[in-house]
């Protein structure tokens, strides 16, 4: 398993390993570039966080200063004005459902692709790989009509099924590379003991391919949580809006309560940031496993 | 031991759900897209066959060309600015300076934050009255440069590009992992031969990265063609269609119930994407090993 990233140890130049303080010109430039990227990336986020604790008056007059007195009321207003809790719940339902459906369907397919040789295997794998590159929203209207036809529009389950389908190519690619790394002898010994194929997948592959499944789940969760276009086009009733669509609609509701708007943004952003920070190692290892390659 | 037939049934049943979902939500919509673009369809019911009329209309549509130009400019930015920046960051991080893991985490954050929330934040950053950009300009005495950034004819598109081009975390992480997996012996050999740090990067690391860089460019371009919500929330094509893209324009046409024209634009988006990706794969000669 590729959980550990092999580091380039032992190739650091003597200078950098012995005297850390005396930086060379190259190191200074390198440091500056990295800091510049840090500022550009972090500044709007820090600004949003700080602004969420300011009064609207402060935001208008001194956008760059720290709040004089933290206005926690902004968060109370944000929850009250947006009714954000309902859309939060909707997003959680869609995301959770879609992650489970997507991961299990992808697991079954990936297992078959990794373990068996059968006609059409190559074609099918190529088809799924190309799926990653297709801009799905080009078929916005046909997808809407298909969803209508199957009575999946305006339903959280429907949205979850659509997301599961859209995420399949990526999930299958990642999982099949994980499963290929598991020695087939393990499944075979279970087969000799009389286990059916489904039992092998559930009882043996799921625990061993666990890191891959976590990765797939996280990537799918990020996608579902953040998806906007289909959630907007397919869901018409306000009670079923997901968080992202709710954001789009509640922006106008704040009028001149900028502090409240920033607080709402922080609330919308925070859950995934926390999830990412907890699970970042498995995301990074997923991206390093070489699964994503053409 | 189970019979051989048992295995066959399992193979079919296990792949079936994935194939069904893929057929219903990828193949069928793409097929329908192409077929319906050949029909008149400006109301609920689909009309008569009109051949290539929609395509003639598209190639005479000024807004289509603006959208296409913007998509092209976005894709070129991916290939020549975004991924090279990610490569630079990955190379710098691969030397593992102090705090590199922290930097990698922060650089990655934009990919976890929803584009929708980001779009609202960027709208505020570029806001003419309390926005970050104008406040900074004012505080350093450059008041005359202040403008309504997202509604300025010349600045709107560059500002849109600015909102994502420095978010290199995802691709820097992918490239970094690839660099760290390179066998050390190569670097040791290069060092013995007297290659400097910089020469090692140029002559050893970068050539080894070619396939991965190609993959990143392809994924980046594909993601860019899909990008919709940010533009929809920040400018919705304004000012004067300067920030129109194919994904946005096809949504707007669909809202006007120009259904088959929206689908024609969808076909254009698919074709344009396929063309760009083929060019990248051809130029960088990647993917030959796999397929």
With a CB cutoff of 8 Å and minimum separation 6, the contacts of A254 are A81, A260, A261, A264
**Which pLDDT belongs to residue B290?**
42
Q: Is A34 helix (H, G, I), strand (E, B) or coil?
A: helix
- Angstrom CA distances, B99 to A225, A275, B108, B244, stand at 29, 21, 14, 40
The reply to whether B19 falls in a domain is no
**Which pLDDT belongs to residue A133?**
85
Within chain A, which residue ranges are assigned CATH 1.10.3720.10?
Answer: 77-288
Q: Is the pLDDT of residue A17 over 50?
A: no
Structure tokens at A141: 């209207």
Q: State the burial class of residue A35 (Cβ atoms within 10 Å of its Cβ: 0-12, 13-18, 19+).
A: exposed
Number of domains forming the structure of chain B: 1
pLDDT band at A53 (very low <50, low <70, confident <90, very high): very high
B259 vs A141: CB contact, 8 Å cut-off? yes
**Which pLDDT belongs to residue B211?**
83
- Could you report the per-residue pLDDT of B237-252, keeping only the tens digit for each? 989 999 999 999 999 9
Domain residues for the domain of B279 are: 62-284
Q: H helices within B23-52, ranges in order? A: 28-36
Closest CA to B38 of B25, B47, B26, B28: B47
Quote the DSSP letter at residue A237. S
**Which pLDDT belongs to residue A9?**
44
Q: State the burial class of residue A73 (Cβ atoms within 10 Å of its Cβ: 0-12, 13-18, 19+).
A: middle
pLDDT > 90 fraction of chain B, expressed in percent and rounded: 55
Q: Are B93 and B173 in contact (CB under 8 A)?
A: no
Q: Are A294 and B218 in contact (CB under 8 A)?
A: yes
Count A/B contacts: CB-CB distance under 8 Å: 302
- Nearest 5°: the CA angle A174, A178, A183 is 160
Structure tokens at A69: 């007195």
A293 vs B2: CB contact, 8 Å cut-off? no
pLDDT band at A165 (very low <50, low <70, confident <90, very high): very high
Q: What is the mean pLDDT of residues B154-171?
A: 94
H or E element, residue A160: helix A156-180
Give B63→chain A minimum CA distance, Å: 17
The reply to whether B259 falls in a domain is yes
Q: H helices within chain B, ranges in order? A: 4-22, 28-36, 53-59, 62-77, 83-94, 100-108, 115-125, 132-139, 156-165, 169-180, 184-192, 197-200, 206-208, 210-226, 229-234, 246-255, 259-284
**Which pLDDT belongs to residue B291?**
35
The reply to whether B36 falls in a domain is no
Structure tokens at A8: 């380039």
The reply to whether B10 falls in a domain is no
Alpha-carbon distance B80 to B85, whole Å? 9
B180 φ/ψ angles, rounded to the nearest 5 degrees = -65, -20
- Could you report the per-residue pLDDT of B29-46, keeping only the tens digit for each? 999 999 999 999 887 788
The reply to whether B193 falls in a domain is yes
**Which pLDDT belongs to residue A7?**
44
Q: What is the mean pLDDT of residues A36-53?
A: 91
- Could you report the per-residue pLDDT of A265-279, keeping only the tens digit for each? 998 888 888 988 888
Q: Maximum CA pair distance of chain A?
A: 75
The reply to whether B47 falls in a domain is no
Q: What is the DSSP string of B199-213?
A: HHIIIIIHHHTHHHH
Q: Is the pLDDT of residue A140 over 60?
A: yes
The reply to whether B32 falls in a domain is no
pLDDT band at A15 (very low <50, low <70, confident <90, very high): very low
B122 vs A166: CB contact, 8 Å cut-off? no
Average pLDDT, chain A: 84
With a CB cutoff of 8 Å and minimum separation 6, the contacts of A138 are B30, B33, B246, B247, B250, B265, B266, B267, B269, B270, B273
Q: What is the mean pLDDT of residues B138-158?
A: 91
**Which pLDDT belongs to residue A3?**
40
Q: What is the mean pLDDT of residues A180-205?
A: 88
Closest CA to B1 of A79, A196, A114: A196
Rank A195-199, A203-207, B59-63, B172-176 by mean pLDDT and report only the highest: B59-63
- Could you report the per-residue pLDDT of B79-135, keeping only the tens digit for each? 999 999 999 999 999 988 888 989 999 999 998 888 888 998 999 899 888 888 998
Alpha-carbon distance B43 to B124, whole Å? 38
- Whichever domain contains B242, its CATH number is 1.10.3720.10
B109 vs A59: CB contact, 8 Å cut-off? no
For residue B39, the cross-strand partners are: B49
Quickly tell me which residue has 């076909």 as its tokens. B267
Q: Are A36 and B107 in contact (CB under 8 A)?
A: no
**Which pLDDT belongs to residue A210?**
85
- Could you report the per-residue pLDDT of B46-82, keeping only the tens digit for each? 888 998 999 999 999 999 999 999 999 999 999 999 9
Give B181→chain A minimum CA distance, Å: 6
CA A294 to chain centre: 21
CATH says A77-288 is which class? Answer: mainly alpha
**Which pLDDT belongs to residue B5?**
60
Q: What is the mean pLDDT of residues B143-156?
A: 91
Identify how many contiguous H helices and E strands chain A contains and give both numbers: 15, 0
Looking at beta carbons, which residues of chain A come within 8 Å of B211?
Answer: 293
**Which pLDDT belongs to residue B212?**
85
pLDDT > 70 fraction of chain A, expressed in percent and rounded: 89
With a CB cutoff of 8 Å and minimum separation 6, the contacts of B92 are A30, A33, A34
- Could you report the per-residue pLDDT of A5-14, keeping only the tens digit for each? 444 444 444 4
Identify which of B92, B109, B250 has the shortest CB distance to residue A41.
Answer: B109
- Nearest 5°: the CA angle B119, B123, B124 is 120
**Which pLDDT belongs to residue B283?**
87
Q: What is the mean pLDDT of residues A80-108?
A: 92
Measured between its terminal Cα atoms, the distance across chain B in Å is: 36
Using CA coordinates, name the residue in chain B closest to A275: B112
Average pLDDT, chain B: 89
pLDDT band at B205 (very low <50, low <70, confident <90, very high): confident
Looking at beta carbons, which residues of chain B come within 8 Å of A276?
Answer: 108-109, 112
Buried b (16+ CB within 10 A) or exposed e, B166-187: bbbbbbbbbbbbbbbbbeeeeb
Say whether residue A280 is in contact with chain B using an 8 A CB cutoff. Answer: yes
Give A7→chain B minimum CA distance, Å: 5
Q: What is the mean pLDDT of residues A229-233?
A: 94
Measured between its terminal Cα atoms, the distance across chain A in Å is: 21
- Angstrom CA distances, A223 to A31, A227, B47, B289, stand at 32, 6, 36, 30
Q: Is the pLDDT of residue A261 over 70?
A: yes
The reply to whether B12 falls in a domain is no
């Amino acid at each position: 398993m590729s959980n550990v990233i092999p580091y380039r140890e032992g190739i650091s130049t003597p200078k950098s390993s012995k005297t850390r303080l005396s930086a060379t010109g190259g190191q200074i430039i390198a440091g500056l570039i990295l800091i510049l990227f840090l500022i550009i990336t972090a500044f709007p986020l820090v600004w949003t966080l700080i602004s969420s604790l300011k009064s609207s008056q402060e935001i208008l007059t001194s956008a760059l200063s720290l709040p004089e007195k933290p206005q926690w009321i902004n968060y109370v207003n944000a929850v009250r004005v947006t009714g954000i809790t309902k859309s939060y719940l909707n997003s959680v339902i869609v995301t959770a459902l879609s992650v489970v459906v997507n991961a299990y369907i992808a697991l079954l397919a990936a297992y078959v692709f990794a373990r068996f040789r059968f006609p059409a295997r190559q074609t099918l794998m190529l088809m799924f790989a190309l799926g990653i590159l297709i801009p799905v929203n080009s078929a916005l209207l046909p997808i809407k009509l298909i969803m209508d036809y199957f009575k999946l529009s305006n339903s959280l389950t429907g949205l979850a099924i659509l997301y599961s389908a859209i995420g399949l190519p990526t999930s299958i690619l990642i999982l099949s590379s994980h499963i290929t790394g598991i020695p087939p002898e393990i499944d075979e010994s279970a087969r000799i003991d009389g286990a059916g194929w489904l039992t092998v997948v559930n009882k043996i592959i799921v625990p061993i391919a666990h890191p891959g499944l976590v990765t797939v789940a996280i990537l799918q969760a990020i996608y579902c949580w953040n998806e906007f276009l289909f959630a907007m086009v397919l869901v018409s009733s306000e009670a079923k809006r997901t968080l992202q669509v709710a954001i789009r609609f509640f922006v106008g509701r704040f009028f001149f309560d900028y502090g409240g708007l920033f607080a709402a943004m922080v609330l919308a952003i925070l859950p995934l940031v926390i999830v990412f920070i907890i699970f970042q190692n498995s995301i990074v290892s997923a991206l390093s496993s070489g699964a994503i390659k053409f | 031991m189970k019979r051989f037939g048992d295995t066959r049934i399992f193979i079919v049943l296990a792949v079936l759900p994935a194939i069904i979902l893929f057929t219903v939500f990828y193949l069928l919509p793409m097929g329908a897209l192409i077929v319906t673009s050949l029909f008149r369809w400006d109301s609920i019911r689909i009309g008569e066959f009109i051949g290539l009329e929609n395509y003639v209309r598209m190639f005479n549509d000024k807004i289509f060309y603006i959208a296409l130009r913007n998509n092209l400019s976005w894709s070129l930015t991916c290939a020549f600015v975004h991924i090279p920046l990610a490569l630079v960051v990955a190379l710098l991080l691969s030397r593992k300076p102090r705090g590199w893991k922290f930097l990698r985490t922060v650089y990655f954050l934009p990919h976890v934050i929803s584009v929708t929330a980001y779009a609202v934040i960027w709208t505020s950053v570029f806001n003419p009255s309390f926005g970050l950009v104008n406040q900074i300009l004012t505080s350093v005495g450059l008041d005359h440069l202040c403008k309504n950034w997202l509604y300025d004819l010349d600045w709107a598109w560059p500002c849109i590009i600015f909102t994502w081009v420095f978010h290199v975390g995802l691709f820097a992480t992918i490239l970094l992992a690839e660099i760290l997996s390179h066998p050390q012996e190569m670097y040791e050999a290069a060092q013995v031969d007297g290659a400097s740090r910089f020469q090692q990067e140029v002559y050893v690391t970068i050539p080894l990265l070619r396939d991965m860089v190609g993959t990143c460019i392809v994924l980046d371009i594909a993601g860019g063609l899909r990008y919709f919500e940010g533009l929809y929330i920040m400018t919705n094509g304004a000012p004067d269609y300067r920030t129109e893209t194919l994904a946005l324009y096809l949504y707007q046409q669909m809202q006007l119930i120009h259904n088959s024209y929206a689908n024609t634009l969808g076909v254009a988006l698919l074709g344009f994407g396929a063309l760009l990706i083929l060019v990248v794969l051809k130029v960088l000669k990647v993917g030959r090993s796999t397929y």
